[in-house]
Chain A
């Protein structure tokens, strides 16, 4: 297997896979309730520090909630946002890009205009406006990111489609009497999936970081949900005396985004060398 020889791809896949498993099995892995407050047991230090206990492996936060449980459930929010955003924006972007690239002409002009218009919209500003209009919730974050992050999908899908469309096997499919939807689905789409897979990993990392940023600003996931960005935001007041409260979610976020980017890079190398034509 060539995939196993790519160290970056392996490390990335392990990190992302581990986070995904943690997110899926959160109720089993977390021995304590991430929402249960105990004000008499606030800011307990993690087990490796002086005064730490194995009862709270990563200590507790400023409201006495178990930090490990919050971290585990936070992985759920991050992965959920990452995957849902990629699915939504991917569907929108790929559909737009493929249609523009395949049909060309006036339709393509319209798609290009939509991409340019989208690129001129500042994301945080839109999030601010949406939150002030409908309030913040997990759904709102997913919808906002999903409906805004399709531009790279559209650009890549459009260019790839334009390249594939001129190849002889597409001409052969027309000559074979295939219908237009069949050519789009059978001949074009499978051949543009590899560059899109790379875009998907990049967008996933971006979405997770944006969720953290929005939550940090108070525009994302509302408390008391355990989002990593929200954990960083709540921890910033205590970081000078209890630095682990900001380090634990911060490092987790770093590791996950790093892992996703490694996965994307590895995937790109794999698909590039894997092309035999």
Chain B
């Protein structure tokens, strides 16, 4: 069996949160023992509430922060053994907010060219040609390259961010909520563009979102994160049609329907927000779980195989 494109092995990330000189330092567990696999050409969706560690996981996979434990492998090689240029040729990001992901002081052309210039040794004419080609591929007029980010709309900016991510022809693109800052009408365009480009360039996506409808649309496999752990992972169709973990069920129940008059759906989760600085004992989901039993507050559930995926719950049907 060949190595998968992306393998995340038992990655953990703890931050020390200091409350001042004399306060006791607390530990924030942002990511705790996460393992993932993504084959070439696949789209792995990662969903969860804000603060569950999705973005920290994205930063670890991008090599922006070094995990406190575990390892990230690309094509079977550890991220830590690569230099910055090699890593850039394999993985590129598309961030959530197109207003902060483009340097306001640089022309669009220079922003898109950045991964090429950082590689070094590519002639200026070649860079120009590739930037122009990439701009027209993402649906922008190459003449726009002379403009500044402030002169572009949100959708155009996100196209610029996509062009920058793809100009080096990476193998994996980490999309951290790429559409959640955009207007609904533009979201669909960007999602379709991402889908086209994936086929055209043979890309794989790690697609992070809190929007289940978007993930259902793009992902071939979905991982559900809660308080830094993956609580359920499965093929997209299986996960959406037969969720096993109570948290996944609650998330699916919380999806807003376009029907007016239905109001905000009841999830049964209560309003106790999870706090990564204070992870509950036993199953970390038990204080909010609608079906928790006495055992859940005592024993941590183990990861069980469930169909093609995994689930981490004492009560979930396995096998």
Given contacts A177-B85, A177-B119, A276-B104, contact A171 B114 (CB under 8 A): no
User: A175 and B93: CB pair below 8 A?
Assistant: yes
Tell me the complex Cα distance, A148–B115, Å: 41
**Is A176 in contact with B95, judged by CB distance below 8 angstroms?**
no
Mask for A184-206, Cβ within 8 A of B = 1, else 0?
00110011000000000000000
**Quick check: B104 and A168 within 8 Å, CB to CB?**
no
Q: What A residues does B209 contact at CB under 8 A?
A: none
Interface residues of B in 74-108 (CB under 8 A from A): 84-85, 87-89, 91-93, 95-97, 99-106
B231 interface residue (CB < 8 Å to A): no
**In the assembled complex, B66 has its CB within 8 A of some CB on chain A:** no
What are the residues of chain B within 8 A of A179 when measuring CB–CB? 84, 118
Q: Are A176 and B164 in contact (CB under 8 A)?
A: yes
- Whether A187 lies near B119 (C-beta < 8 A) is no
- Total residues of chain B contacting the partner, CB 8 A: 33
Given A175-B62, A175-B64, A182-B118, A169-B91 contact (CB < 8 Å): no
Is B318 an interface position by the 8 A CB rule? Answer: no
Q: How long is the Cα–Cα vector from A177 to B62 in the complex, in angstroms?
A: 11
**A173 touches B (CB below 8 Å):** yes
A246 to chain B, nearest CB (A): 47
Is B161 interfacial (CB 8 A cutoff)? yes
B177 to nearest A CB, angstroms? 11
In the assembled complex, the CB of A4 is this many whole angstroms from the nearest CB of chain B, namely 21
User: B279 at the A/B interface (Cβ < 8 Å)?
Assistant: no
Question: Which residues of chain A are within 8 angstroms of B169 by Cβ–Cβ distance?
Answer: none
A-B contact pairs, 30 of them (CB 8 A): A168-B96, A168-B100, A169-B102, A171-B62, A171-B64, A171-B93, A171-B95, A171-B101, A172-B101, A172-B102, A172-B114, A172-B164, A173-B114, A174-B63, A174-B84, A175-B63, A175-B88, A176-B88, A176-B114, A177-B88, A177-B89, A177-B115, A177-B118, A177-B119, A179-B84, A190-B103, A190-B106, A276-B150, A277-B104, A277-B150
